[in-house]
Amino acid sequence: MNRYETVFIMTPVLSAEQVAETVEKYRAVILKNGGKTIHEDAWGLKKLAYPIQKKSTGFYHLIEWEAEGTAVLPFETEFRRDERILRFLTTAMDKHHVAYAESRRDKSNRKAEPKAEAEVVVEAPAKAPASKEDGSKTEAKA
């Protein structure tokens, strides 16, 4: 099985319910064609670099999935037929891309965990040691 990464942009006029419904539709298409979803990331509403269909913003969504090569065509055909999709891009992931995506996911998970721990650990500042000049004077007097 091959791994793929698909990023698609949905029209900004959709409600949160419709966005969730659209994403669920594409999850079902992947499953129907014998694939499985590995990771998803909703990037939210973002400004587009240039207008697409007179829209300047869109809901971005990333799906990382695994399937046979024959599953890509029906998946992309569904994107082309759906008026809610402004743009999409599917890329095949090689071993380096897979490793990078997994490390990026792990890094983002690790960043979220230390914030909770950092709030708990609070140390009192230690007193500054006496300067060397003070120490040398006391030694000279003795």
Q: Phi/psi at 103 (nearest 5 deg)?
A: -70, -35
9 is a domain residue: no
Closest CA to 12 of 59, 48, 81: 59
What is the structure's pLDDT at 105? 82
120 is a domain residue: no
Per the structure, the complete domain to which residue 58 belongs is given by 37-90
**pLDDT by residue (tens digit) across 72-119?**
999 999 999 999 999 999 999 998 888 888 888 887 777 767 665 555
Alpha-carbon gap, residue 142 to 140, rounded angstroms: 6
Alpha-carbon gap, residue 73 to 137, rounded angstroms: 84
Q: What is the CATH number of the domain that holds 73?
A: 3.30.70.60
pTM: 0.72
Within the chain, residue ranges assigned H as helices are: 16-32, 72-81, 95-120, 132-141
69 is a domain residue: yes
115 is a domain residue: no
More confident position, 129 or 83:
83
141 is a domain residue: no
55 is a domain residue: yes
103 is a domain residue: no
140 is a domain residue: no
Among 62-66, 101-105, 123-127, which stretch is predicted with the lowest mean pLDDT? 123-127
Closest CA to 61 of 7, 3, 125: 7
Degrees (nearest 5) of the Cα angle 43, 18, 45? Answer: 25
Domains of the chain: total = 1
